[in-house]
Chains A and B, each alone.
Chain A
Amino acid sequence: MGSETQHESGMSRRDLLAMVGMAAGSAAMYQAMTSLGLAGESTYRGSPNLSGAPKGTSVLILGAGLAGLTAAYELRKAGYKVSILEYNERPGGRNWSIRGGDKITELGGETQTCGFAKGHYFNPGPWRIPYNHHAVIDYCRQLSVALEPFACLNHNAYFHSTNAFGGKPQRIREIDADLRGHVSDLLSKSAQQDKLDESISKEDKEVLLAALKNWGGLDNENRYTKSAAAASLRGYDRYPGGGLAGPSAPSEPMKLQDLLKSGLWRNLNNFFQFEHQNTMLQPVGGMDMIGKGFAKQLNGLIRYNAKVTEIKQDERGVTVTYVDQKAKGTPKQVKADWCVCTIPASILSQIPTTVSPKMKAAIDAVPYVTSVKVGLQFKRRFWEEDEMIYGGISSTNLPINTISYPSDNFGSKGPGVLLGAYQIVQANSFALASMSAPERIAFALENGSKIHPQYKKEFDNGVAVSWHRMPFTLGCGGMWNPSTRKEHYSNICQIDGRMVLAGEHVSYVNWWQEGAILSALDAITRLHERIVKTKA
């Protein structure tokens, strides 16, 4: 990795995947994957119409994450006899929020007890919902899960690099304004010097100059200077006030060379990719409100603490063996006519399962990505009180990568919980995953204090989650590449005997909740058609 990448931080998954490809010497491969996986809006077309379910037909669902819960909810509505086996003692799977008093046990046996104050939480998994994820939002509507804005782009949050501006965090507003301003200045100059005459008509040139002046905050000579126009975008040295303190003083833009060299501009576009654009949403009170909302509808149908140890099927039905993780004792069996299996491929690949060789090969072809998140509670909301940051995300080249401020309880006097580290895919995510939870928390504090010096004085308590150490997933999400997609994706989607798979790993919207739900809807729609045809 060249020194250029030292500045990279706050990268989107798209950037990360592109990096995977480049490091593998096959950037095109991975870019193809991301454009296939992430392009276009959701294909959600509303709840499926599953009419004519044969009376008394049973469907066993494995896993009570969003895929399994969606499948159960819709199949029961259609008249099927539905039951769910779930490894955890709660619904939701990766749809999960941690609150005060919660115990988190990672593989290896380390247990943390969360010490957050009442009313505060941390989403270790999914934490924001794009406006274009229509399925997630529609199920929130159906389940009466209240949504509120998740501040993603906050112009007053920071871009930070240890290699730029003496390590002093820069407001996103200033980076954004100065990049636009300087680019507009340069382009205006070229146009004014007739250097664009081959590309643009005289008429269009006048409009272009007007647009650049407007968009770039340029002065009357179309230059980007310390001016009222620039200040209206990047902010003031002295802000407009009242009475005698009224007059404002514009701020000085940073020099183009400094801005370019800083690399901080790299962080900007992350906020303009379609999944991160405003308005992003979050359930009021925690992401797990969605899983809980489904579970309330499916009251009594979910058997928790059930570890699936074998999945057998023949032409008459499916028999699943499980061990109760609380009671232990002898394995128990559940039989059903059909099965929807949403167990992550990382785990399903280890469970003896009656499936075709093609399906088995597909299940074995999906590696799971690493990710670590750290949630930190501080005694007071210093980011709001001292720095006027209300929600949003700061990005840094420090190995914590991200700080995200809570999008709720603005202005409250008590404590606040923020996301203090978010590492995914990169080498350092493995290093963090290898640490104990207290080491990860100390690491997040040490690094974060370089951006917010208040950290050490105001720290109260924290929790850290390594997704590779989560007993129920062994990773944060399934990873496809164009060659595994080509060879295995269609196979993993097929109805195999009396079983069909669903989950984010059986989608092109990997690692998003939308992928889990869309996958479930597609799977049960085809399964329903098969069942009706089989009975006819």
Chain B
Amino acid sequence: MIHVSFSRRALAIGLLALPLSLSAALAQDVKPTIGPPGLAFAPKTGADLYVTVCQGCHMPGGKGAVGAGMYPALNNNKNLEAGAYPVHVIVNGLRGMPPFRAMLNDDQVAAVVNYVRTNFGNSYSDAVTGDDVKLARSAN
């Protein structure tokens, strides 16, 4: 896993110093994390969580996809402006999207939301916290 943590560090630097397209390319070096059997996801950081949990549908770089139905693109997505919205969707699901309340803990939900809201052309710097996730859990 040395490779992965190295990439993450490179990504963090990239966000500050490099053009966006290059930092997105580095993000794609992160590989999905295989964990122990069961429902709980193992990754802790936003980048690892995105690639392991979300990328299967929302695609690398958050670019979304279209077939008979579609997966919304998360890049440059104005629906991410209010952090509570993606938190709610991840915890409780939305239409065909499964709820992740049983698979991710509060910190993991917050980490992946903060990652998506500050990557893929999104720059919403007001981070969400585990408490915001608790609120979404009780809402349903």
Please report A residues at the B interface, Cβ cutoff 8 Å.
Answer: 1, 5-6, 8-9, 19-20, 23-24, 87, 107-109, 307-308, 343-347, 349-351, 364, 366-370, 397, 399, 401, 425-428, 430-435, 439, 443, 466, 468-475, 479
Task: Name the one of A1, A108, A346 contacting B69, with C-beta atoms under 8 angstroms.
Answer: A346
Contact B32 A19 (CB under 8 A): no
A468 & B69 in contact (Cβ 8 Å cutoff): no
Q: Write the chain B residue with the least CB distance to A467.
A: B56
Please provide the 8 A-B residue pairs with the shortest distance between their CB atoms, ordered closest to farther: A471-B67, A346-B96, A433-B56, A347-B69, A107-B65, A1-B38, A24-B102, A431-B32
Inter-subunit contact A23/B59 (CB<8 Å): no
Query: Which of chain B's residues have a CB closer than 8 A to the CB of A109?
Result: 65
Kindly identify which residue among B35, B65, B95, B99 contacts A428, using a CB–CB cutoff of 8 Å: B35
Q: Are A367 and B71 interface neighbours, CB within 8 A?
A: no
Determine whether the beta carbon of B32 is less than 8 Å from that of A367: no
B37 close to A (CB within 8 Å): yes
Identify the closest chain B residue to A472 (Cβ).
B68
Contacts of B38 in A (CB 8 A): 1, 5, 8, 19, 23, 426-427
Q: Does B7 contact A (CB under 8 A)?
A: no
| Bound CA span A165–B79, Å | 52
Distance to closest chain A CB from B7 (angstroms): 15
CA distance A364 to B66 in the complex (A): 19
Given contacts A428-B35, A430-B52, A435-B31, 16 further A-B contacts (CB under 8 A): A9-B37, A23-B40, A107-B66, A345-B95, A350-B96, A367-B96, A367-B97, A431-B33, A433-B57, A434-B32, A434-B54, A434-B56, A469-B56, A471-B65, A474-B57, A474-B69
CB–CB B41/A427 < 8 A: yes
Q: How far is the CB of B63 from chain A (nearest CB, A)?
A: 8
A468 to B66, CA, bound (A): 12
Asked if residues A427 and B35 are in contact (CB atoms below 8 Å), the reply is yes
- The secondary structure that dominates the B interface is loop
Give complex CA distance A439, B31 in Å.
10
Chain A residues lying within 8 Å of B97, measured Cβ to Cβ, are 367
- Can you identify 24 A-B contacts, CB atoms within 8 angstroms? A1-B38, A1-B39, A5-B36, A5-B37, A23-B38, A107-B57, A107-B71, A108-B65, A366-B95, A367-B93, A369-B98, A397-B37, A426-B39, A427-B39, A427-B52, A427-B103, A428-B35, A430-B56, A431-B35, A434-B52, A434-B53, A435-B31, A439-B31, A472-B67
Interface size on B, residues (CB 8 A): 37
Closest B residue to A308 by beta carbon equals: B68
Q: Is B55 an interface residue (CB 8 A)?
A: yes
> Among the interface residues B33, B40, B68, which one has the most CB atoms of the partner chain A within 10 A?
B68
Nearest-CB residue, chain A, relative to B69? A347
Interface assignment of B34: CB less than 8 Å from any CB of chain A: yes
B 86-126 to A, binary, CB cutoff 8 A, 1 in contact else 0: 00000001011111011100000000000000000000000
In the docked arrangement, what's the CA distance between A426 and B65, Å?
23
Determine whether the beta carbon of B36 is less than 8 Å from that of A349: no
Which one, B39, B42, B67, contacts A20 given CB within 8 A? B39
Interface flag for B51 (CB, 8 Å) = yes
B40: A residues at CB distance < 8 A = 1, 23, 427
B16 contacts partner chain A, Cβ-Cβ < 8 Å: no
Q: How far is the CA of A19 from the CA of B38 in the complex (A)?
A: 8
Residues of B within 8 A of A472 (CB): 67-68
Q: Min CB distance, A396 to chain B, in Å?
A: 10
Q: Does B17 contact A (CB under 8 A)?
A: no
- Residues of B near A425 (CB, < 8 A) are 39
CB-CB < 8 A to A364: which residues of B?
95
**Residues on A with beta carbons closer than 8 Å to the beta carbon of B67:** 87, 107, 470-472, 474
List of A residues within 8 angstroms of B103 by Cβ: 23, 427
B2 interfacial by beta-carbon distance below 8 Å: no
Contacts of B39 in A (CB 8 A): 1, 19-20, 23, 425-427
Residues of chain B with a CB closer than 8 A to A8's CB:
37-38
B32, B35, B59, B95: most-surrounded residue (chain A CB, <10 A): B95
Q: Does B1 contact A (CB under 8 A)?
A: no
Q: In the complex, which of the residues B37, B42, B102 contacts A6, with contact meaning CB atoms closer than 8 Å? A: B37
Flag if B102 contacts A349 (CB, 8 Å). Answer: no
**Pick the contact of A475 from B32, B54, B96, B99 — CB < 8 Å?**
B96
Q: Which of A1, A23, A24 contacts B36 (CB 8 A)?
A: A1
- Determine if B70 and A434 form an interchain contact, defined as CB atoms under 8 angstroms apart: no
Please give the distance in Å from A98's CB to the nearest CB on chain B: 18
Indicate which residue in A20, A370, A471 contacts B68 across the interface (CB closer than 8 Å).
A471
Instruction: Give Cα A351 to B7, complex, Å.
Output: 40
Q: Report the Cα distance A141→B67, complex, angstroms.
A: 34
Residue of A nearest to B40 (CB): A1
Q: Is the CB of A399 within 8 A of B34?
A: yes
Q: What's the Cα separation between A180 and B127 when bound, in Å?
A: 56
Query: How far is the CB of A77 from the nearest CB of chain B, in Å?
Result: 28
B55, B56, B96, B98: the one within 8 Å of A345 (CB): B96
Closest to A428 in B: B34
Complex: A344 Cα to B68 Cα, angstroms: 10
A397 to B67, CA, bound (A): 34
Closest to A345 in B: B96
Most buried by A among B31, B41, B67, B102: B67
Instruction: Among A1, A368, A369, A434, point to the contact of B51 (Cβ < 8 A).
Output: A434
Give Cα A430–Cα B102 distance, bound, in whole angstroms. 14
Contact A468-B52, Cβ < 8 Å, known A24-B102, A347-B96, A431-B32:
no
- In the complex, chain B residues whose CB is within 8 Å of the CB of A23: 38-40, 102-103
